[in-house]
Amino acid sequence: MAEAEDLAAKCLTFELEFESSAELPSPDGGRVTSEVESKVTLQYEAGSWAAPQGSSALVNTNYEVVIPPGGCTATGVRGGGTFSVISLNWLVATDGAADQVGHVEDILLRYDPGETTETATVSCPQATTTAGVVFGQWHTFFFGTHAEEIWMGDIGTDSGLDMSDPTSLLGFTFLATGWDVSGDELFAEREWEKSAGGVTEEGSFLLYHRPQ
């Protein structure tokens, strides 16, 4: 039995790739763009019924700040965070009584996207360079466009949740469903393009089966 459990754990090993790009333009020609990516290895533990979980660096691959015309310039300073998978579960369905094995119909991914720490250095002809100015960070863009994915198990009577204020969503986790499941090496994928409050955000989850 121990050997069987070990083989099952080696088979049930997955890799989740996450990418997201968010942009907030302004009417006067300014723009803030932030992009992130993360890769998390997830493995079922032998002898355990617990859903796999894990975390990895949330890499801020690009942070660009364009100040409206007027003489000043800005240089984005990237700042990453941590992306965490709270649980990875399957929604299993069957094709009738004769289907005793069933199939994975959807993925239930509960996750914490984390907080990023981007800033910008601003230079103006008549002023000293100012460092550490925050124009907009990826996590506030992401929370604002994914508010409908808030996992309701996090919500309490005194949660202080305000869907119109992305910063109030800090500390909440999200639930991603509605995947395209193939069951192949690229086991499942989910892509999206969302907008809210002037922000446009697009990204993807790719779940790969990586048996050892």
pLDDT (tens digit per residue) in 2-49: 888 778 878 889 999 999 999 999 988 899 999 999 999 999 887 677
Average pLDDT over residues 134-152: 92
- 212 belongs to a structural domain: no
Residue 57 confidence (pLDDT): 98
In this prediction, residues 69-90 reach a mean pLDDT of 92
The whole-angstrom separation of Cα 23 and Cα 72 is 20
Higher per-residue pLDDT: 187 or 129: 187
Domain that holds residue 157: 2-206
Asked if residue 47 lies in contact with residue 1, where contact means CB atoms within 8 angstroms, the answer is: no
92-105 mean pLDDT: 82
Residue 195 within any structural domain of the chain:
yes
CB–CB of 39/17 below 8 Å?
yes
31 vs 80: CA distance, rounded Å:
20
The amino acid present at 49, given as its one-letter code, is W
Question: What total of structural domains would you count in the chain?
Answer: 1
CB atoms within 10 A of CB 5: 14
- Residue 211 in domain: no
Q: How confident is the model over 92-98, as a mean pLDDT? A: 81
What order do you get walking across the sheet with 174-176 strand by strand? 174-176, 103-112, 81-93, 54-66, 31-43, 13-25, 199-209, 186-196, 180-181
